[in-house]
Structure 1
Amino acid sequence: MYFEKVGIGEHGLLLLPGALGSTKTDFGPQLKKLNRKAFTIIGWDPRGYGQSRPPNKVFTTDFLQNDAEDAALLMKELGYEKYSLLGWSDGANVAAILSAKYPERVRKLVVWGGNSFITPEELEIYKKVRDVANWSPAMKQPMIDVYGEETFTKLWHDWVDIFVKMFEGKSGNVDLYMNELKKIKAQTLIVHGEKDAMVPKFQAEYLHKNIQGSRLVSWDDGKHNLHLKFADRFNALVEEFLSKDFSKL
């Protein structure tokens, strides 16, 4: 598995990317600008993504859980007994699953764009964005640069299709890890962009309600990729949360 490591701080910080994401596509401003004296920042390409290939990702119904195990093993191999997690979108889900399964290992947790369940309405959103020909060049080109157009298209179709498969035979929501949230003990910051077209606000509210003692921050101008569009503001919020006593925020 491929990873990048920058900084000299005692506080280890793992960045977990979104669907098909990698250090190259998802966390450039964080790897470049987060405080390298306070943190050691580790960017990671999950198995089958980015430079952690070949082989390409094979999506199964438990792929988020498998990624969480890989992330935990990576940090163990790097020598971290305790560390913090920053997870975006699918990476938020992976980070939450890891935090629930190994609560003794996670110091603090920051998630945005995540969802512990999927509604039928959200599945329709996924289906609408399945055709990458309809994506904006700004969203599509970074993925093509990493995978090539053919591989990117296939992987994205596979990602959408695994959620379609999860809904087969079901009339309601699909539970990804709802019952695991109560096991999270890490101090948790949830950030939500009010203009997020992929993840409705009720998902952030559900995380906030079910992760004990968590803090929810909403940005009126934020979209799904708020950490990229408003990188400086996001980084400042994260550094404050990670560096200070949670009870004083």
Structure 2
Amino acid sequence: MQTRRVRWWRVAAVLTATLLLLASSCSFQTGSPIPDGVPPPRGAPVPEIDTNAPGRPADQLSDWAAELAPAIGIPAKALEAYAYAARVAQVVNPKCNLAWTTLAGIGMVESHHGTYQGAAIAPKGDVRPPIRGVQLDGTLGNMQILDTDNGVLDGDPNLDRAMGPMQFIPETWRLYGVDANNDGVISPDNFDDAALSAAGYLCWRGKDLSTPRGWMEALRAYNLSNQYARSVRDWATAYAERHPR
């Protein structure tokens, strides 16, 4: 396993409250606590692959994704990215127990699997045009996050914006962003990079996502909202329960 791919498993633990939130255009709402219960089902098993394959490793999952994607309503390239990230997590950190369905639930809530406002996913996973969230200015229930990247990543020199199909904020991307498609670029606007980076973040925050506590801690670190966690769980469960005819 190449160091650049797995460095997010070894990132230092301390993040500020700001960095714990991968802020999105969703409002941060509280509501009643999520009832105790099992995390979403794992869904269709992901085939074993060579996670260090040259080129775009997620291409190994193209046949699997092509069969499943139409039945569950996820673009094939997005599904490949989710499944590859989950497979890498299983290899690198098997105690995490991250399922591709959780990543798919997040991807749906955050960006409609990279298709928000007409965006599309290229063969190598790049999402164009880039997806950017609202300015994180403290209104509409969002946190205020002053600019941390001089606008280099999110295009906003005044305030931070969430970026890409998995909606990372710039500072968190700098900590967890990885190159998952072997193109030499670590981009929040590449689905492979974003999904694998999200996997690293979730596993770091939740430790064991097969437990109710671990799964909720991971999701609440991603977005501090019980409503958000419910939405992710509902979508993840729906994807797990649909099957090709």
User: Per residue, is there more strand in 1 or in 2?
Assistant: 1
TM-score, structure 1 as length reference: 0.30
Higher relative contact order at CA 8 Å, sep ≥6: structure 1 or structure 2? 2
